[in-house]
Structure 1
Amino acid sequence: MVEPESLKSLEDLARENGRYPVDAYNFVREGLKYTVQKLHQANQTDQHITGRDLCLGLRDLAIKRWGLLAGLVLKHWNIQGTMDFGRIVFAMVDAGWMAKRDEDRIDDFLDIYDFRTTFNQDLTLEPESKKQ
């Protein structure tokens, strides 16, 4: 990992990448913490998680945080599939915000789940019928 004083800010990273807003990077960082806490004990020395683990944790956190709006929030941030999570993670790894093992690959994030099904993006809200 890069020394803290030489880290790019997430704002700079988002601006340079141009694909995702800083909120998406912050969400992935929060999702990493959420997933590690969910899967590992605090005193456990090895707290590594896989790309699949992180995608599932991000799904759970998004639904917990935004409920039925989770898919819309992620879409607003240009996150349309689990590979987008991988792109954000590897940009953060390259910038020193996260660490990876030699065996970790961006393909670990490929098609972990279908966003449309997972976040019910076909869901339509019906207006309440007028009471008479």
Structure 2
Amino acid sequence: MGQQDGRYHERGYLFVLAALEYAQGKLAARRHLSGAELAWACRDFALDQFGLLAPTVLRFWRITSTEDLGRIVFSLIDVGLLARQPSDKLEDFDRVYDFTEVFRVGYRWPGLERS
């Protein structure tokens, strides 16, 4: 994928697929996720997997916005690795959140509780 498209590192495509599975695992039953739901799942999965390094890892893969996540999703749809609903649009991923803000604020340190 990454070699065909060239915009994103191939691990970025694998990351989005893994984030989808991560999100599905948190649901009572598997279902279709909206673009916004998947974008938030990617944020949560990145923080879970990479902690404070999440924005650095994503930037290395050239993923710097929710729009990038959408382009990856639609590339995965184009090659048959994901399916879409008729109502799904690339624009569903537009400005879901600001990468700088969501990765800068609110990181929860594992094992530490605030008093």
Q: Same fold by TM (over 0.5)?
A: yes
Cα distance in 2, alignment partners of residues 40 and 105 from structure 1: 25
Paired letter, 1:83: E
The alignment partner of 1:71 has SS state of helix
- Kindly, what percent of the aligned residue pairs are identical? 39
2:9 to 2, 21, 38: 21
Residues 41-87 of structure 1, C-alpha deviations (whole Å, 9 max, x = no match): 2xx5xx10100010111100000111110000000110010000000
1:32 aligns with 2:54: no
Residue number in structure 2 paired with 1:128:
none
Bigger-Rg structure (1/2): 1
Residue number in structure 2 paired with 1:102:
86
Cα distance in 2, alignment partners of residues 111 and 84 from structure 1: 10
Q: Which runs of 5+ in 2 are unaligned?
A: 106-115
Paired letter, 2:91: D
Residue number in structure 1 paired with 2:57:
73
**How far apart are 1:39 and its partner, in Å?**
2.7
The alignment partner of 2:32 has SS state of coil
2:32 to 45, 48, 52: 48
**How far apart are 1:38 and its partner, in Å?**
1.5
Paired letter, 1:28: V
Cα distance in 1, alignment partners of residues 4 and 12 from structure 2: 14
Residues 82-101 of structure 1, C-alpha deviations (whole Å, 9 max, x = no match): 00000000000000000000
